[in-house]
Structure 1
Amino acid sequence: MNIVLYEPEMPANTGNIGRTCVATNTRLHLIEPLGFKLSEKHLVRAGLDYWDKLDVTVYSDFADFLKRNPGAKLYMATTKAPAVYTDVKYEPDCYLMFGPESRGIPEEILVEYQETCVRIPMWGDIRSLNLSNSVAVLLYEALRQNGFEKMTMEGHLHRLEWKE
């Protein structure tokens, strides 16, 4: 799986997303300009000690991303989409793209990907979910649809046994 952040603005969100990517063996793609430096303490703090394990690539702009990932199957997360994220069948190597926290993916990009735009349902007049939460919602749905391939599927208590 692949997560694409188009011009992310908040280092803590990107750090949280990076940690989620490490926990799910997902590649992170960052499209500049970024609203922070990759060495920023809030980014590193949110990613905890996982940031050095992250498979991350930075691109100068969206055209650079497309050039370096030819044929990428892109799903665009946007509040403007008519389709709900659970209505889509995600391929194991797809790219889930999210826009900047303050404005989302620009409409000039969205119109080129109308068939693969998806939304997360929300109640009332809420503008959007937090970016790192949105990434987790879509990513885990895509992983679920693909059988959580190679992920740890069970845990074990250390001192107690589960009762049947």
Structure 2
Amino acid sequence: MRVALYEPDIAGNVGTILRTAACFGVGVDLIEPMGFPWSDRGLRRAGMDYAAAGEVTRHADWGAFAAQLHGRLILATTRGATDLWDVRFAADDVLLFGSESAGVPDAVHARADIAVRVPMRAGFRSLNVAVSAGIVLAEALRQTR
């Protein structure tokens, strides 16, 4: 299982996701461009010192990522047609999360095998991407381990 981030905007969110993934032994794919510079100093500043402890792969763009994709692509999105609790995860799934400002484009939605949403109370728009990633990853790992 892997977590993939599509053109993330906020270094702090990426840092939180990298830390979560490293703690659970899950690799992370970063699909560029990102909204912040990727550097040793920048990583430390954003609290991403766990990047070295985890498996992080950077991809130049969506095409480069999609070309190497194996397993199902599970897109977490507010537009998801399937509730998280109704998904049956597999160990080789890739859990994809969009950028904080724009999500993912329609072409990426179309490529997803499953578009899943975290059920929330009516009237609430969305969760923070790092919180959402933690919830979806925890449920996926609960089911597959």
Deviation at 1:68, TM superposition (A): 2.2
**Which structure 2 residue ranges, 5 or more long, are not aligned?**
none
Question: How far apart, CA to CA, are the structure 1 residues paired with 2:101 and 2:125?
Answer: 10
**Which structure 1 residue ranges, 5 or more long, are not aligned?**
148-164
The structure richer in strand per residue is 2
Question: How far apart, CA to CA, are the structure 2 residues paired with 1:45 and 1:89?
Answer: 37
Question: How far apart, CA to CA, are the structure 2 residues paired with 1:94 and 1:31?
Answer: 17
Q: Which amino acid aligns with 1:134?
A: S
Q: Equivalent residues in 2 for 1:21-100 (5 A)?
A: 21-39=21-39, 43-47=43-47, 49-69=49-69, 71-100=70-99
Greater relative CO, 1 or 2 (CA 8 Å, sep 6+): 2
1:141 paired residue number: 139
Identical columns (%): 39
RMSD over equivalenced CA pairs, Å: 1.7
Range that drifts further, 30-39 or 104-113: 104-113
Query: Which is higher, the Rg of structure 1 or of structure 2?
Result: 1
1:102 aligns with 2:126: no
Q: Equivalent residues in 2 for 1:91-130 (5 A)?
A: 91-113=90-112, 115-130=113-128
- Deviations 1:33-87, CA, capped at 9 Å, x for gaps: 1001122756434545422112101111111001123x33110011111210121
Secondary structure at 2:19 match in 1 = helix
- Deviations 1:86-143, CA, capped at 9 Å, x for gaps: 2111111210000000121212221232x51100112233221001000000000000
Question: How far apart, CA to CA, are the structure 1 residues paired with 2:45 and 2:141?
Answer: 26
TM-score (norm 1): 0.81
TM-score (norm 2): 0.91
Secondary structure at 1:76 match in 2 = strand
Question: How far apart, CA to CA, are the structure 1 residues paired with 2:24 and 2:137?
Answer: 9
- Write out the 4+ residue segments of structure 1 that deviate beyond 3 Å after TM superposition: 40-43, 45-49
